[in-house]
Chains A and B, each alone.
Chain A
């Protein structure tokens, strides 16, 4: 079964600085999707960025970018020019392709990393 590990329960960054959140996963599949979700305090979880495993190019969304290392099964999130509104729980998630059936196709989440941004 696939697993997702976020080894940093908490991280802190100074406003305007850059921070990298770590995520590793375990799978025997060659095709899959990876996601970073953000959950601000008392607010809805939103998708930050996604990466298809077959794409070698790292995904970017404005100040958010990933470092996808398929061989190492690593999927880190870099936040540049951190802002106070970036403070949240960040969840890394894995999904195998295809429809949800049994253990396949489900989003598998890590335990999350709580990011604090200092003004």
Chain B
């Protein structure tokens, strides 16, 4: 495994629900990322954190709210999602934001009903 874990692995939620995705890395890395992976589309970078500070927000709707309480943990808070938000959400980490090598978690398969 890569040293990056994500929970839950699967999540089904209604459009009015509030839920959170969790990511944890055990690699001592300083940068963490959220990606959205949809079928037949390239991975879309959503957020980037460096030393708990958000450095990138790729025009992501406000119904997605990230949180990075420390360099090992990253959350993605979800509320009032739309069916088109159904996708695989991947967390990744890297040594720092200059490092090209990213280590990915297994992802959370999200279904919005």
Q: Point out residues on B near A: beta carbons under 8 Å.
A: 1-2, 4, 31, 40-43, 45, 48, 50, 55-56, 90, 96-98, 100-107
Q: Which residues of A contact B98 (CB under 8 A)?
A: 97-99, 105
B88 to chain A, nearest CB (A): 10
Of chain B, the residue at the smallest CB distance from A35 is B100
Which bracket fits the contact residues of A? 20 to 34
Closest to A106 in B: B45
Nearest-neighbor residue (CB-CB) of A91 within chain B: B43
For the complex with contacts A99-B50, A111-B41, 12 further pairs of A-B residues with Cβ separation under 8 Å are: A44-B1, A44-B106, A47-B101, A47-B102, A47-B103, A99-B96, A100-B31, A102-B56, A106-B48, A106-B56, A107-B43, A111-B42
> Across the interface, do A45 and B97 meet the contact criterion of CB distance under 8 Å?
no
Chain A residues with a Cβ under 8 A of chain B: 4, 9, 33, 35, 37, 42-47, 50, 91, 95, 97-102, 105-112
Minimum CB distance partner of A111 in chain B: B42
Chain A, Cβ-Cβ closest to B31: A100
Q: How far is the CB of B55 from chain A (nearest CB, A)?
A: 6
| From A9, A47, A108, residue with most partner B Cβ within 10 Å | A47
Question: Shortest CB–CB separation between residue B8 and chain A, in angstroms?
Answer: 14
Q: Which residue of B lies closest to A112 (CB)?
A: B42
Neighbouring B residues of A9 by C-beta, 8 Å: 40
Q: Which residues of B contact A106 (CB under 8 A)?
A: 45, 48, 56
**A44-B100 in contact (CB<8A):** no
18 contacts between A and B (CB under 8 A): A37-B104, A44-B1, A44-B4, A44-B106, A45-B90, A45-B104, A46-B2, A46-B104, A47-B103, A50-B100, A50-B101, A98-B98, A99-B98, A100-B48, A101-B56, A105-B97, A111-B40, A111-B42
